[in-house]
Structure 1
Amino acid sequence: MILFDFNRLTLFLTFCGLMIVGCSNSEDVSIKEEESETSITEEESTNTVKDKEPQGEVSFFNSDLVYDGYILVSGATSNRVYLMDKESNLLFDWPLNNTNLGKDATLLPSGKLLAMLEDNNAQIKFGGFGGKIQLLDKEGNIEWEFIYSTQDYVLHHDAEMLPNGNILIQTWERKTVAQASEAGSNMNIELFPDGIIEVNPATNEIVWEWHAWDHLIQDFDTTKNNYGSIAQNPHRIDINYTQLEDGDMTHANGLTYDKEKDLIYLSVNFFSEIWVIDHSTTTTEAATSQGGNYNFGGNLIYRFGNPEAYKNTTGTRRFFNNHHPNLDFQNNSKSIFVFSNGQDLEQSTVYELEIPSVFSLLPNEDNEPKEIWSFTDSDLYSPKVSGAVPLPNGNVLITEGDFGLWEVTRAGEVVWKFNKPGFYWRGYHFDKDSPEIKALNL
Structure 2
Amino acid sequence: MTMALTRRGFAGGLAGLAGLAGATGWAAPTVFPTGTTIFDPGRTWSGFTVVSTLDTPAVLVIDMNGRTVKRWDGFNVSAGGPARVLPGGVLVAPQGAFARHQESTALVAVDFAGKELWRFDHAEQIEPESGRQWSARQHHDWQLASLPAGYYSPAATPALGGRTLLLTHTSRRDPGIAATLLEDDRLIEVGADGEIGWQWIAGEHIGSLGYGERARAAIARLGTRDGYDWMHTNSATYVGPNKWFDAGDERFHPDNVIVSSRQSSVIAIAARDGSIAWQLGPDFSATPQMAKIGQVIGQHHVHMIPRGLPGAGNVLIFDNGGASGYGDPSPISPLGNSLYQRANSRVLEIDPVTLELIWSYSAPNFYSTNISSAQRLPNGNTLVTEGAPGRIFEVTADKDVVWEFMNPPGEVGRRSNAVYRAYRIPYAWLPQVAPPGEVPIVPPAPGTFHVPGTPD
Match of 1:416 among 403, 412, 426: 403
1:396 maps to a residue whose letter is T
Identify the residue that residue 274 of structure 2 maps to in structure 1: 298
Q: How many residues were matched structurally?
A: 339
How do residues 391-430 of structure 1 correspond to structure 2 at under 5 angstroms? Answer: 391-402=377-388, 403-419=390-406, 420-421=408-409, 422-430=417-425
1:348 maps to a residue whose letter is S
For each residue in 1:322-373, what CA deviation from the matched residue of structure 2 results, as whole angstroms up to 9, or x when unmatched? 11123222147411211111012121111111132xxxxxxxxxxx721111
1:165 maps to a residue whose letter is G
Q: How far does residue 320 in structure 1 lie from its aligned partner after superposition?
A: 0.7
Q: Kindly tell me: are residues 231 and 103 of structure 1, through their superposed partners in 2, closer, same or farther at Cα, counting changes over 3 Å?
A: closer
Q: How far does residue 263 in structure 1 lie from its aligned partner after superposition?
A: 1.8
Maintained 8 Å contact 2:185/2:201: yes
* Structure 1: gaps spanning 5 or more residues: 1-12, 20-54, 219-227, 282-296, 357-367
What secondary structure sits across from 2:203 in the alignment? helix
Maintained 8 Å contact 1:109/1:439: no
Maintained 8 Å contact 2:190/2:196: yes
- Measured in 2, the distance between the counterparts of 1:97 and 1:78 equals 9
* Structure 2: gaps spanning 5 or more residues: 1-20, 28-32, 128-134, 147-160, 242-252, 323-340, 410-416, 436-456
Q: How far does residue 170 in structure 1 lie from its aligned partner after superposition?
A: 0.5
- Measured in 1, the distance between the counterparts of 2:77 and 2:400 equals 39
Q: How far does residue 404 in structure 1 lie from its aligned partner after superposition?
A: 1.8
Q: How far does residue 381 in structure 1 lie from its aligned partner after superposition?
A: 0.9
Identify the residue that residue 74 of structure 2 maps to in structure 1: 96
What secondary structure sits across from 2:302 in the alignment? strand
Query: Comparing both chains, which one has the higher relative contact order based on Cα–Cα distances under 8 Å and sequence gaps of 6 or more?
Result: 2
Match of 1:117 among 69, 86, 95: 95
- Measured in 1, the distance between the counterparts of 2:231 and 2:387 equals 21
Identify the residue that residue 70 of structure 1 maps to in structure 2: 48
Identify the residue that residue 320 of structure 1 maps to in structure 2: 297
1:75 maps to a residue whose letter is T
State yes or no: 1:372 paired with 2:344: no
Identify the residue that residue 6 of structure 1 maps to in structure 2: none
Q: Kindly tell me: are residues 100 and 267 of structure 1, through their superposed partners in 2, closer, same or farther at Cα, counting changes over 3 Å?
A: closer
Identify the residue that residue 307 of structure 1 maps to in structure 2: 283
2:262 maps to a residue whose letter is N
2:427 maps to a residue whose letter is K
State yes or no: 1:161 paired with 2:144: yes
Match of 1:251 among 232, 250, 254: 232
Q: How far does residue 189 in structure 1 lie from its aligned partner after superposition?
A: 2.2
Q: How far does residue 398 in structure 1 lie from its aligned partner after superposition?
A: 0.6
What secondary structure sits across from 1:94 in the alignment? strand
- TM-score, normalised on structure 2? 0.66
- Measured in 2, the distance between the counterparts of 1:418 and 1:211 equals 37
What secondary structure sits across from 2:141 in the alignment? strand
Match of 1:143 among 96, 102, 117: 117
Identify the residue that residue 105 of structure 2 maps to in structure 1: 131
Q: How far does residue 240 in structure 1 lie from its aligned partner after superposition?
A: 5.4
Identify the residue that residue 214 of structure 1 maps to in structure 2: 204
- Measured in 2, the distance between the counterparts of 1:304 and 1:98 equals 31
Q: Kindly tell me: are residues 326 and 100 of structure 1, through their superposed partners in 2, closer, same or farther at Cα, counting changes over 3 Å?
A: closer
1:372 maps to a residue whose letter is I
Identify the residue that residue 43 of structure 1 maps to in structure 2: none
Identify the residue that residue 272 of structure 1 maps to in structure 2: 265
Identify the residue that residue 80 of structure 1 maps to in structure 2: 58
- Measured in 2, the distance between the counterparts of 1:212 and 1:405 equals 31
